[in-house]
């Protein structure tokens, strides 16, 4: 059996490792655009803060692939998929045949239309090294900019705060995670940031960058903001260009059924790139977090080797920003819920939003209310309605 895996991140690698465990004789190839063996993107923030040494960010060493007789092609890009003749053409010029193909290519940061030295994106360890280089060149008191209002913006917030650097933060809407948070919860996050000393500009469109080659600032409606680094976190864009003409169905991600199979025979998708049929939450969903990518990698390996079982997980993502703990459980898109109930309040400093669809709980956002985590996770798994839940009051 020839397994070809495109993408050597946690989803692709976990699948490769599981396939090797279940079939010692299979031919397994992992193709990855990045030059590095598997590392943890989750640890990049800790590495940047100097809390984890660079070598500890890596989860595999180069010789691991050889030891497990997995052919590893770093620095190589999949450029074209031919589903009729079952091969992928790679940037090294070779055509790789497959019996089963896994697409685990993740996503990439959405770039600004403009660029200057001093603009930073954060996805890879190379991005982190670049940011460390920029930080090492800063003069005392230099101001840092952040544009965006999602998870990556939080990574920059935490880093710059840890380094004691003044921060100007701007974003387009009025609140963080605007697809998931209601106004009151958004206000709580903004309050924590402002109290933490962040200069906050909401309703701001980035109009231009200032500087010749080096960044000196960025322009929003309220005028020029002088900063010498700008961390950009304005969402992600998966690249599907190499799949053009292959007939693989694409929506917000590569569409799969509950088994992580695409509409094309013997082609599978897992991780950040997959828009899978979530049997727990009852809809097609893209989930972008480490736990989901790893679990899907493990699961898809089973399906690829012939075990037809649906993927089931209530995934969670936790992040800290200026001491505020935000936990996201299950399906947290306001627009996809019939009702979003609020427990707690701005005044109490803790808010939980519970997302309900078809009279059953499908998700939760917990701001400083970790105590609701087990209750909501169980409610999602057990298909309970909001009215059945008993919250601990303040």
In terms of CB distance, is 131 or 220 closer to ligand FAD?
131
Nearest Cα neighbor of 209 from 220, 198, 200 is 220
> What's the number of CA atoms in the CB half-sphere (13 Å) around residue 332?
25
Q: Among 15, 17, 30, 32, which residue sits at the site for ligand FAD (rule: CB under 6 A)?
A: 32
How far is the C-alpha of 345 from the C-alpha of 347, rounded, in Å? 5
Q: Residue 362 Cβ, how far from ligand FAD at the closest point, in Å?
A: 19
DSSP 303: H
**For helices 10-22 and 290-304, what crossing angle results, to 10°?**
30
Q: How far is the CB of 44 from ligand FAD (least distance, A)?
A: 4
Establish if 7 lies at the interface with ligand FAD (CB under 6 A): yes
Contact (CB, 8 A) for 53 and 95: no
Give the torsion through C-alpha atoms of 167, 172, 174, 179, to 10 deg: -110
User: Residues 88, 95: contact at Cβ < 8 Å?
Assistant: yes
- If one asks whether residue 278 binds ligand FAD (CB under 6 A), the answer comes out as no
Is residue 169 a contact residue for ligand FAD (CB under 6 A)? no
The one among 18, 119, 147, 272 contacting ligand FAD by CB under 6 A: 272
Supply the minimum distance, in Å, between the C-beta of residue 93 and ligand FAD.
14
Residue 37 interacts with ligand FAD (CB under 6 A): yes or no: no
Find the binding residues for ligand FAD in span 58-77 (CB under 6 A): 77
The footprint of ligand FAD on this chain (CB under 6 A) covers a number of residues equal to 33
Residue 104 touches ligand FAD, criterion: CB under 6 A: yes
Residue in the block written with tokens 């209002």: 149
Contacting ligand FAD within 284-313 (CB under 6 A): 288-291, 293
Among 5, 18, 19, 44, binds ligand FAD (CB under 6 A): 44
Sign of CA dihedral 55, 60, 64, 69: negative
Distances in whole angstroms, Cα of residue 337 to Cα of each of 140, 330, 340, 356, 364: 47, 12, 7, 6, 11
Q: Judged by CB, which is closer to ligand FAD: 45, or 186?
A: 45
Assess contact for 103 and 268: CB atoms under 8 A. yes
Binding mask 223-252 for ligand FAD (x = CB under 6 A): ----------------x--x----------
Interface residues with ligand FAD (CB under 6 A) are: 6-12, 31-34, 41-42, 44-45, 77-78, 104-106, 122-123, 155, 239, 242, 271-272, 288-291, 293, 317
């Amino acid at each position: 059996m020839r397994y070809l895996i495109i993408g050597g991140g946690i989803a692709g690698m976990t699948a490769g490792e599981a396939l090797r465990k279940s079939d010692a004789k299979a031919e397994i190839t992992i193709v990855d655009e990045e030059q590095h063996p598997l590392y943890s993107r989750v640890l990049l923030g800790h590495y940047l803060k100097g809390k984890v040494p660079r070598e500890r960010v890596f989860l595999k060493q180069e010789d691991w692939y050889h030891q497990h007789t997995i052919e590893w092609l770093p620095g190589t890009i999949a450029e074209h998929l031919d589903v009729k003749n079952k091969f992928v053409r790679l940037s090294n010029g070779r055509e790789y045949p497959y019996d089963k193909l896994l697409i685990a290519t993740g996503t990439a940061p959405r770039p600004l239309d403009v660029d200057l030295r001093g603009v930073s994106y954060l996805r890879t360890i190379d991005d982190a090294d670049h940011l460390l280089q920029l930080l090492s060149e800063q003069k005392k008191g230099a101001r840092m900019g952040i544009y965006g209002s999602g998870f990556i913006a939080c990574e920059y917030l935490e880093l710059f705060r840890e380094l004691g650097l003044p921060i100007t933060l701007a974003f387009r809407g009025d609140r963080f995670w605007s697809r998931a948070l209601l106004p009151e919860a958004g206000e709580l996050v903004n309050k924590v940031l402002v109290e933490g000393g962040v200069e906050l500009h909401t309703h701001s469109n980035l109009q231009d960058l200032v500087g010749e080659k080096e960044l000196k600032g960025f322009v929003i409606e309220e005028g020029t903001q002088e900063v010498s680094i700008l961390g950009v976190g304005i969402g992600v864009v998966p690249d599907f260009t190499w799949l053009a003409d292959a007939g693989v169905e694409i929506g917000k991600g590569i569409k799969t059924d509950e088994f992580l199979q695409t509409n094309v025979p013997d082609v599978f998708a897992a991780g950040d790139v997959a828009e899978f049929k979530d049997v727990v939450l009852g809809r097609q969903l893209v989930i972008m977090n480490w736990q989901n990518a790893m679990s899907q990698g493990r699961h898809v390996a089973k399906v690829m080797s012939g075990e037809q079982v649906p993927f089931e997980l209530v995934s969670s993502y936790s992040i800290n920003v200026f001491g505020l703990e935000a936990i996201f459980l299950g399906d947290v898109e306001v627009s996809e819920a019939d009702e979003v109930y609020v427990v707690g309040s701005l005044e109490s400093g803790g808010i939980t939003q519970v997302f309900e669809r078809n009279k059953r709980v499908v998700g939760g956002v917990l701001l400083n209310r970790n105590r609701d985590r087990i209750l909501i996770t169980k409610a999602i798994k057990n298909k309970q309605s909001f009215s059945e839940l008993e919250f601990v009051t303040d």
